[in-house]
Amino acid sequence: MRFAFRGELVLALFFTLIGALWMFRALRMPLWDGFAPDSGFLPLVYGVLLAALAAAVLVQLALAKDSSNAETIRKPLIVMGALIAAVAALPIVGFVISVFALLVFLYAGVERLRLLPSAIAAAAITGSLYLVFKAWLGVPLP
Amino acid sequence: MSELGHLLAGFSAALTLKHLTMCFLGVLMGQMVGVLPGIGPAAAIALLLPLTFGADPTSAIILFAGIYYGSQYGGTLTSVLVSVPGESSTVMTTVDGYQMALQGRAGPALGIAAIGSFIAGTLGTLGLTLLAPPLAQAALAFGPPEYFALVVLGLTALAAVGSSVLKGLVAGVAGLLIGTIGIDPQNGIARFTFDQTWLLDGVEFIVLTVALFGVGEVVASCALGAARPVADVKNVLPTREDWRASRLPILRGTGVGFVIGVLPATGATIASFLAYILEKKVAKDPSRFGKGAIEGVAAPESANNAAAAGAMVPMLSLGVPGSGTTAIILGALIMFGIRPGPELFTKNADLVWAVIASMYIGNVLLLVMNLPLAGLFARLLKIPYRWLYPPILALCIAGVFSQSNSVQDCWLLAGFGLLGWLMKRYDWSMAPMILGLVLGPLFESALRQSLTLSHASPAIFVTRPISAVLLALALIAVTAPLWTPVFAPRAKAI
Amino acid sequence: MRCLTRLLWLLAALPLAALAQGWKPTKDVEFVIPFAVGGGADLMARVIHKIMVDEKLVPVPVALVNRPGGGGAAGIGYVAASRKGDPHTLILINGTTQITPIMNPNAKTLTEVKPVMNLMLDDFVFFVRADAPWKSLGDFIKDAKSKPAKSMAFSAGGTTDTMAVTVLSKATGVQYNIVSFNSGGEALTALLGGHVQASMGNPLEFMGQLQAGKVRALGVVRDSRFAALPDVPTFKEQGVAAPNFQMWRGVAIPKDAPDEAAAYWEGVMKKVAASPALANYFKENVAQAAPIPSKDFHAFLANQEKLYRELLGK
């Protein structure tokens, strides 16, 4: 059987690890104080529960037949990457440039729409968001 | 005391041009900030507050109240149309509302939300008119053990919201776990912040919802961009059938919402969750929920509006805030030299009754505004998705940033967006995660407060009548499927 | 990335620091509120801002910016990172920002700023329900001493309220059962509902109930009676040797801003403190005006820090 990437396993594994992390960190906190549970108690319970439940899902998935459909994940990954890049650019080039670039990239690069309408739409959207949040609501956009 | 006489006097005050204008401006602004994720009514009121210094306090409070309940209408719009909850109290609307939109029924979804909101807002205001002081007194009976039992009842729904019980539980517990990030409110010690200052306040609720529902949805559906059918806007208004299906959910949602709203420690968000869960529990075919059931829109939308009216009860009659937003309205009252407290109803009767009267008027204005808007905005979905999703992402970024003006929150948006995409892709329901985050902190503080009060004896939960009844209800909710295996439809096979 | 921005700001700030002689703002000023919109600290900052604008105390525009989070640490962290040494920056500071690093040593607050002036003090009052059997603090303490430890439950609306109960506990040698709530409003509700026997908190939240005769104030934790509550005796008057315990609220600028700028802002804040609008704000909020100029402010803060550490056992 060839290796098949199964994202759902990753998801279940992620939750298991997070549960384990919480368990591990909570054990180093005080669990009980006087009459009532202290900071570590419920996080420990949650961590144990999450790790156990997610591990159960993991087992269930591993036993199940591989039913992963062949739907493309290339485009979601590109969109996700573009979002991360835009967030990374926020504090450096500011809101207007990074959001404008994100929109142009998505329209023209990913959706292969023509450049001019893409740029116009991107400018209009960025402009109106800027107006609403910065000018009207006084949000200090970077 | 004649409530009617006071109310009539209130109407004659509220119907003056000045106050009517304020009411209109308030609901209009509420509608707008409701649409924007991140910015909520609390922030809008605080921003306007300095501008109203020196103005007539009645006008100002009418304006603020309008923003508050108006925002409960506005938040629905983005929830239904693009799966980005505009307010924390419209998250549950997203679940079924967005599915309805995909089926071309955005119009009826928005329509029933507006009608339900109107009915709930009006009935809630009626409750406020007739029962405020005695209700507020009754709400005081709710101490930590009662809140604990209420939260337990809410938590029984963790597994019930999604399609797979096990995955729903994983998501729910993950939400509870996210809720422990930040400063422990019981003792001020930081937990799970990994030495990051920006995590000290934990993960903001709206950041998680916008990331999971907004970004997750966009990233998952953009791949299907070409395949995703452009939603056909069929009938714009709810049909007779829709109305018949929603009638009782609206009334139940109103009841749940109002009661939860009156309780000082719970607000519109929890109310909308509980109303949704209640509908799913009483429905003949619960499997329809999450796939575009109109009850799933009608009930939470009614609940959040009734809760907004309910939250005014402790505010006006005790001087205790029933939610974050009413806390700011209280601050405003103090700024105007009006002392909130039990004497407000007698000492400042003019103001109180004018505000209450304006709430009736404001709800009518909102209905008139929203019904035509429902049709108009539903047409927005005719825009091809490839033109629609990039601006949704941009709105998510701007909205999340504006929540606390922090770039780090935008990183959380990207991170949880990735998680949301994976969950969406593999059909893990995300609502339990949100429910966990909402209820987790209240669960923990109520548990710790109760045990402190009882000197560590768990008997406190069953010896107090209200708490005992609520816990019994929770037990019934969990074990119901065991009792009635015939009626319980089997959960969808994984 | 953050290092890069910090470096850029450092470069930008250097010439400013060198040029500041007889300093005056030359560009837009940012007034950073390290708390969420709508809270007590936020409202006070908005009042100060309005006074600065209305009375034209500053020749340039002043923008309010909320950077909430982490008991003030997030906002001050923002100032330390992005507006390092920039004298065109004001920050609202209060007792909570001082407590944060005591509880969580990783969070840096007052060490990152230069305090300019204190403006107000907030009191702590001991409340019981109007139908409670205790008529004075003495009654209450006597009753508490006759019962097993922790029989008396107090609702506290946050760390500072808890500290106020600790003040009482230390002074009387009685252990109380402190139940922590998330806000003063919730603490008040718990008292009104009879879930706890007593509460300590800021007078603001309790004022409406006090005037309506639903709660009784048995004492205030300070050296002399509070003018706004003339009938409430102090702890000391009733034989409880508790230190004066109040929470402060003031204004600071970034740590590395030039002293000339600090002097300028102190001048502005003195004018703000003298404004009737601020006096009115204090009156409505049952707070005490307490302008402490910068030369005394530092000593005051050092004193408070000592007291806080003692109360928190850190």
Condensed to tens digits (0 to 9), the pLDDT of residues C90-133 reads 999 999 999 989 988 888 899 999 999 999 999 999 999 999 99
CA–CA distance, C270 with A16 (Å, rounded to integer): 57
Q: Where are the domains of chain B?
A: 3-482
Q: Which two tokens stand for residue B347?
A: 């000492």
Which of the residues C209, C285, C311 would you substitute to probe the B interface, choosing the one with the greatest number of B C-beta atoms within 10 Å?
C209
Residue C36 has a pLDDT of 81
Neighbours of C280 (CB within 10 A): 14
CA distance B189 to chain C (A): 6
C141 and C128 in contact (C-beta within 8 Å)? no
Nearest Cα residue in chain B from C48: B50
Check C38 against B50: CB less than 8 A apart. Answer: no
User: What 3-state class would DSSP assign to C239?
Assistant: coil
Check A90 against B173: CB less than 8 A apart. Answer: no
Residue C296 has a pLDDT of 94
Check A91 against C5: CB less than 8 A apart. Answer: yes
Is the predicted pLDDT of residue B49 greater than 90, yes or no?
Answer: no
User: What 3-state class would DSSP assign to A7?
Assistant: helix
Give the H/E segment covering residue A74: helix A74-93
Hey, which residues 192-211 in chain C have their CB within 8 Å of chain B? Answer: 192-196, 204-205, 207-209, 211
Q: What is the dihedral of CA A78, A80, A84, A90, to 10 degrees?
A: 90
Is the predicted pLDDT of residue B363 greater than 90, yes or no?
Answer: yes
CA–CA distance, B472 with B480 (Å, rounded to integer): 12
pLDDT band for position A52 (cuts 50, 70, 90): very high
Q: Closest Cα to residue B246, out of B100, B109, B378? A: B109
CA–CA distance, C120 with C108 (Å, rounded to integer): 23
Is the predicted pLDDT of residue B44 greater than 50, yes or no?
Answer: yes
| Higher-scoring residue by pLDDT: C156, C15 | C156
Q: Closest Cα to residue C281, out of C61, C40, C36, C106? A: C40
Which of the residues A11, A93, A126 would you substitute to probe the B interface, choosing the one with the greatest number of B C-beta atoms within 10 Å?
A11
User: Percent of chain C having pLDDT more than 70?
Assistant: 93
Residue B288 has a pLDDT of 87
Q: Where are the domains of chain A?
A: 7-63, 74-136
The burial class, CB within 10 Å (0-12 / 13-18 / 19+), for C255 is middle
A62 in contact with chain B, both atoms CB, cutoff 8 A? no
CA–CA distance, B452 with B403 (Å, rounded to integer): 34
Say if strands C89-94 and C247-254 run parallel, antiparallel, or are unpaired: antiparallel
Check B452 against C178: CB less than 8 A apart. Answer: yes
Q: What is the mean pLDDT of residues C277-301?
A: 93
User: What 3-state class would DSSP assign to C53?
Assistant: helix
Residues sharing a CB contact under 8 Å with residue B133, sequence separation 6 or more, in sequence order: B317, B342, B345
Nearest to A56 among B166, B223, B454 (CB): B166
Neighbours of B443 (CB within 10 A): 21
CA distance C137 to chain B (A): 22
What integer best gives the mean pLDDT of chain C?
89
Q: Please tell me what DSSP assigns to residue C112.
A: G
Is the predicted pLDDT of residue C232 greater than 90, yes or no?
Answer: yes
Nearest to A140 among C4, C65, C177 (CB): C65
Q: Name subunits touching B (3+ CB pairs < 8 A).
A: A, C
Nearest Cα residue in chain B from A131: B398
Which of the residues B173, B200, B425, B429 would you substitute to probe the A interface, choosing the one with the greatest number of A C-beta atoms within 10 Å?
B173
Question: Using one digit for the tens of pLDDT, what is the confidence trace for B481-492?
Answer: 666 544 444 444
CA–CA distance, B352 with B14 (Å, rounded to integer): 11
Nearest to B223 among A54, A60, A75 (CB): A75
Amino acid at B51: L
Say if strands C198-201 and C153-156 run parallel, antiparallel, or are unpaired: parallel
The burial class, CB within 10 Å (0-12 / 13-18 / 19+), for A102 is buried
Nearest to B341 among C47, C181, C207 (CB): C207
For residue C91, list its beta bridge partners: C32, C252
Q: What is the dihedral of CA B161, B166, B170, B173, to 10 degrees?
A: 70
pLDDT band for position A1 (cuts 50, 70, 90): very low
User: What 3-state class would DSSP assign to C293?
Assistant: coil
Residue B454 has a pLDDT of 94
* Percent of residues in chain A assigned helix, strand, coil, to nearest 5: 70, 5, 25
Q: What is the mean pLDDT of residues C246-254?
A: 95
H, E, C per residue of C213-228:
CCEEEEEECCCCCCCC
Check A129 against B426: CB less than 8 A apart. Answer: no
Residue B488 has a pLDDT of 44
pLDDT band for position A67 (cuts 50, 70, 90): low
Check B398 against A86: CB less than 8 A apart. Answer: no
Give chain C positions within 8 Å (CB) of A92.
1, 4-5
Is the predicted pLDDT of residue C192 greater than 70, yes or no?
Answer: yes
pLDDT band for position C204 (cuts 50, 70, 90): confident
Check B174 against A60: CB less than 8 A apart. Answer: no
CA–CA distance, B384 with B386 (Å, rounded to integer): 5
Which of the residues B196, B197, B336, B345 would you substitute to probe the C interface, choosing the one with the greatest number of C C-beta atoms within 10 Å?
B197
C241 in contact with chain A, both atoms CB, cutoff 8 A? no
Q: Closest Cα to residue A18, out of B203, B201, B409? A: B203
CA–CA distance, B50 with B11 (Å, rounded to integer): 27
C289 in contact with chain A, both atoms CB, cutoff 8 A? no
C1 in contact with chain A, both atoms CB, cutoff 8 A? yes
Q: Closest Cα to residue C52, out of C90, C79, C93, C23? A: C90
For residue C63, list its beta bridge partners: C30
Nearest Cα residue in chain A from B177: A46
What integer best gives the mean pLDDT of chain B?
87
Hey, which residues 131-150 in chain C have their CB within 8 Å of chain A? Answer: 150
Is the predicted pLDDT of residue B162 greater than 90, yes or no?
Answer: no
Hey, which residues 59-98 in chain C have their CB within 8 Å of chain B? Answer: 65-71, 73-74, 77
C99 in contact with chain B, both atoms CB, cutoff 8 A? yes
Residue B492 has a pLDDT of 40
Give chain B positions within 8 Å (CB) of A137.
33, 36, 39, 43-44, 47, 402
Hey, which residues 127-156 in chain C have their CB within 8 Å of chain B? Answer: 150, 153
A34 in contact with chain B, both atoms CB, cutoff 8 A? yes
Which of the residues B152, B217, B410, B433 would you substitute to probe the A interface, choosing the one with the greatest number of A C-beta atoms within 10 Å?
B410
CA distance B9 to chain C (A): 24
Interface B–C counts its CB contacts (< 8 A) at 160
H, E, C per residue of chain B:
CCHHHHHHHHHHHHCCHHHHHHHHHHHHHHHHHHHCCCCCHHHHHHHHHHHHCCCCHHHHHHHHHHHHHHHHHHHHHHHHHHCCCCCHHHHHHHHHHHHHHHCCCHHHHHHHHHHHHHHHHHHHHHHHHHHHHHHHHHHCCCCHHHHHHHHHHHHCCHHHHCCCHHHHHHHHHHHHHHCCCEECCCCCCEECCCCCHHHCCCCCHHHHHHHHHHHHHHHHHHCCCCCCCCCCCCCCCCCHHHHHHHHHHHHHHHHHHHHHHHCCCCCHHHHHHHHHHHHHHHCCCHHHCCCCCCHHHHHHHHHHHHHHHHHHHHHHHHCCCCCHHHHHHHHHHHHCCCCCCCCHHHHCHHHHHHHHHHHHHHHHHHHHHHHHHHHHHHHHHHCCHHHHHHHHHHHHHHHHHHHHCCHHHHHHHHHHHHHHHHHHHCCCCCHHHHHHHHHHHHHHHHHHHHHHHCCCCCCHHHHCHHHHHHHHHHHHHHHHHHHCCCCCCCCCCC
ipTM of the complex: 0.92
Check C107 against B406: CB less than 8 A apart. Answer: no
Q: Please tell me what DSSP assigns to residue C195.
A: S
Phi/psi class of residue B126: alpha, beta or left (left: φ > 0; alpha: ψ in -120 to 50)? alpha
CA distance B125 to chain A (A): 29
CA–CA distance, B220 with B232 (Å, rounded to integer): 21
Nearest to C1 among A35, A91, A138 (CB): A91
Residue C16 has a pLDDT of 45
Q: Which two tokens stand for residue C270?
A: 């003195």
List the single range of B55-69, B194-208, C119-133 with lowest mean pLDDT.
B194-208
CA–CA distance, C222 with C200 (Å, rounded to integer): 13
**For chain C, which domains are there?**
2-122+247-312 (3.40.190.150), 125-238 (3.40.190.10)
Interface A–B counts its CB contacts (< 8 A) at 179
